[in-house]
Amino acid sequence: MSLVTVSDKGQVVIPAKIRKLLGITPGCQLDFSLDGHTIKVELKRQRSPSTIEEGFGMLVSKACGKRSLSDFDVATAMRSADH
């Protein structure tokens, strides 16, 4: 059993040992439910960590020659992909 303290915002920290045992990582979803006066938490979705290689080719610049950082602006690239 692990005793944790609830913050002013109602937040609690899941102990590292439990997170590791259940594979809870950033981005995982937890489903909270009540069973009488007991809070039940169920791990709904595990998010696999991404790698640098998975992002290869996501940003494309049509500019030839000298490039600047603004050529790789994600928001601009997404807006132009929508049109």
Give the pTM: 0.50
Tell whether the model's pLDDT for residue 32 goes beyond 90: yes
pLDDT digits (tens, 9 = 90+) for 48-80: 667 777 777 776 666 667 777 777 777 877 777
- CA distances to 19, 46, 73 from 54, rounded to whole Å, are 25, 18, 18
Q: Cβ atoms within 10 A of the Cβ of 71, count?
A: 14
